[in-house]
Amino acid sequence: MQRRHFLVATAASLRALARQEQATVRAGFIGTGNRGFYLMRAFMSLPGARVTALCDIKADRLDKAATAAADHQPATFADYRRLLEQRDLDAVFIATPCDLHAEMAIAALQAGKHVYLEKPVGISPAEIRDLLAAARSARTVLQVGQQLRSDPRLQATIAKIHQGVAGEVIMVKAQRHASDDLDHHGPSADWFFDAKRSGDVIVEMAVHNLDICNWIVRSRPERAAGFGGVLLWKDDPPGRSSMDGYTLSYEYANGVKLSFTQVFFHPPGLPGGGQYFYVYGTKGAVDVLASVFYPRERKATPQKLVETVPERKGDAHIAAFLESIRTGAPPAADITVGATAALTAILGREAIYQKRVTEWSEFQVDL
């Protein structure tokens, strides 16, 4: 009898868990430009996902998103505050210009919504400090769009580094080199090149790369130094204030050193372009994106660390967000991850702007 009751209870529990995992999540999207539209389509491809509201100040983008989600019959708004008033809304996705991220996320958390917030979480220490306080007092999930945290190959490779395949990590060298500038007439051109809105290119874009470095090092920087500016694309587009090239050096709290560069003028035929993360340890080095370990011994054979990874179905980062909402699992990139990444970028930006070594302690942000 006990065994029969146990089996019945177990079957009931599994059915309840299956229902929970497929429970409908009703979401609104604030910002329906390129990134917001992608997030909406990826969300709609997942089981139990329903779009109930859309918001954008640009009518053409709002109409495009509403048409794509027509089967869900979403309400549309030009004011994000109106969207947050909707009761048939469990979660919001925020994909607006960077200077609006923290303000909107705080409002959404205070409205009792789960929040998927595109990176960066803020463009100033004060914004990030306020968002941290709001997230820590909220009863809902906040996940940051540092989506590389959900990449299975990166997860497996970095796990190998943490297990000591290269020994103790002592230095990281990383870069993000493009052969051309961002589209000067594209959908983000009206704010991306304005550093007061984007936080500058290091905060808007390289925050992904710097987050990977933080993940590898398992620490945060203590100080930064660097140089950069608008080197090639001077006043192009007109009024531009975001950099097109810079180099940075970081020193982490655990002693690891990081060298990072980003440029928008690496010629297509010149070797060494694109992105990479080279991790140097006491036993050798790891090319993270290739997932290859190179021993220090001269004649040693390089070792492939990750041969195969599970197939990705849909957007794994959005799927992780929904799982966190439904099951209480930790977010794939929580507010601490997002805040640390953004502050790392800001630390480097300010070192360049102020032409001095900047210190993490200057932020006075409690992580």
DSSP secondary structure letters along 354-367 = HTS-EEGGGG----
Q: Which helix (H) or strand (E) holds 30?
A: strand 25-30
How much is the pLDDT for 48?
A: 97
Question: Is-cis flag, bond preceding 221, omega within 30?
Answer: no
Fold of 151-310+334-363: Dihydrodipicolinate Reductase; domain 2 (3.30.360)
d(CA 228, CA 251): 18
How much is the pLDDT for 8?
A: 45
How much is the pLDDT for 343?
A: 98
DSSP conformation class of 166: T
How much is the pLDDT for 312?
A: 62
How much is the pLDDT for 9?
A: 47
CATH number for 2-148 (one of 3.40.50.300, 3.40.718.10, 3.10.20.600, 3.40.50.720): it is 3.40.50.720
The residue ranges of the chain whose pLDDT is under 50 are 1, 5-19
3-state secondary structure of 71: helix
3 Cβ contact list (under 8 Å, min separation 6): none
- Burial classification of residue 294, based on how many CB atoms lie within 10 Å of its CB (0-12 exposed, 13-18 middle, 19 or more buried): middle
170 Cβ contact list (under 8 Å, min separation 6): 255, 256, 257, 280, 281, 282
Cα 259 from chain centre: 20
Q: What is the DSSP string of 211-258?
A: HHHHHHHTS-EEEEEEEEE--SSTTSSTT--S-SEEEEEEEETTS-EE
How much is the pLDDT for 332?
A: 97
Residue 11 one-letter amino acid: A
How much is the pLDDT for 305?
A: 97
Number of C-alpha atoms within 13 angstroms, CB side, residue 52? Answer: 18
Q: CA nearest 224: which of 216, 233, 213, 240? A: 213
Quote the radius of gyration of the chain (alpha carbons, Å): 22
- Burial classification of residue 35, based on how many CB atoms lie within 10 Å of its CB (0-12 exposed, 13-18 middle, 19 or more buried): middle
How much is the pLDDT for 310?
A: 67
Rounded to the nearest integer, the mean pLDDT of the chain is 93
d(CA 31, CA 57): 8
Tokens of 263: 């440029």
How much is the pLDDT for 2?
A: 53
How much is the pLDDT for 21?
A: 57
Residue-range domain boundaries for the chain = 2-148, 151-310+334-363
97 Cβ contact list (under 8 Å, min separation 6): 31, 188, 191, 197, 198
